[in-house]
Amino acid sequence: MLRVKDLKVKYGVIEAVRGIDFEVKAGEIVTIIGANGAGKTSTLNAIFNVVKKEGYVEFVEADISKIPTHLIVKRGLALVPEGRKIFINLTVEENLRIGAYLNDENYERLRDEMYELFPRLKDKKDNYGGSLSGGEQQMLAIARALMSEPKMLVLDEPSLGLAPKIVKDVFQILVNLNKEKDVTILLVEQNAGAALRIANRGYVMENGSIVLEDDAKALLQSEEIKKKYLGG
Ligand code: ATP
């Protein structure tokens, strides 16, 4: 579904992404794990053409390397950005409305679907985004991205700043979306343990390069991964 070839991102002399290749097949949950600064966010921003890049990106058999961000979203690829980036001065419902800006004729149906998926958001529909807990804000960010009815959801560190129990809840929602709504998922995470437990496959990123790829189960059992990313 998504194919990335020889992707490079440079900020002046800093090579944040050094020619990486990876793919996500329809129906999969794939994770890219790596430490802070490994180049994960730059990779996602490059796919969405939010930063300048070199290389090739294909989505559902079409070259999207050079098309603008809103047209990428229109093709069915949606991003839940790092730090959630919800609108704190707008209500939950207004945040969802913005998520449907390319899909306005379906707004009410989609909003109701989101309230079914995330009952807490329904309870808080008139509350300001900024008044929600971290977990609720993450759920709102996911719901907002789903308002474009994506075939594939890309998430940048959704576990950041959340308590382990809340991480579990958020990741369970991703599993349900994947199984029940047929949403393919690319999950970028520093929390390697949580990500590998729900993923089918994983890539390990270090210093702008992919240094390892395998089934998620194999990565979870690898001594090297345990030592470096899973706290021994
Ligand atoms: P994080 O967990 O912090 O998001 P990451 O793995 O996503 O880390 P990136 O944010 O992609 O990594 O950063 C990769 C490298 O590029 C780092 O060395 C970072 O300092 C650098 N970098 C990122 N954005 C910029 C920028 N706008 N200008 C200059 N350097 C940048």
- pLDDT tens per residue across all 232 residues of the chain: 999 999 999 999 999 999 999 999 999 999 999 999 999 999 999 999 999 999 999 999 999 999 999 999 999 999 999 887 889 999 999 999 988 877 778 899 999 999 999 999 999 999 999 999 999 999 999 999 999 999 999 999 999 989 999 999 999 999 999 999 999 999 999 999 999 999 999 999 999 999 999 999 999 999 999 999 987 6
38 Cβ below 6 A of ligand 1: yes
191 Cβ below 6 A of ligand 1: no
Residue 28, phi then psi, degrees to nearest 5: -85, 160
Predicted pLDDT at 104: 79
Predicted pLDDT at 20: 98
Predicted pLDDT at 232: 64
Burial class (CB in 10 A: 0-12, 13-18, 19+), 172: exposed
Gap from CA of 89 to ligand 1 centroid (Å) = 28
The ligand 1 atom at the shortest distance from the C-alpha of residue 9 is 16
Instruction: Tell the CATH topology of 2-229.
Output: Rossmann fold (3.40.50)
The ligand 1 atom at the shortest distance from the C-alpha of residue 17 is 14
Burial class (CB in 10 A: 0-12, 13-18, 19+), 130: exposed
**Apex 190 CA angle, 75 and 43, nearest 5:** 40
Domain borders along the chain are 2-229
ipTM of the complex: 0.91
Predicted pLDDT at 103: 76
**Dihedral angle, C-alpha 12, 14, 18, 23, nearest 10 °:** -80
Report pTM: 0.93
For the chain, the first-to-last Cα distance in angstroms comes to 34
Ligand 1 atom 18: the closest Cα is on which residue? 37
Query: What order do you get walking across the sheet with 54-59 strand by strand?
Result: 14-24, 2-11, 54-59, 62-63
The ligand 1 atom at the shortest distance from the C-alpha of residue 208 is 14
The ligand 1 atom at the shortest distance from the C-alpha of residue 42 is 11
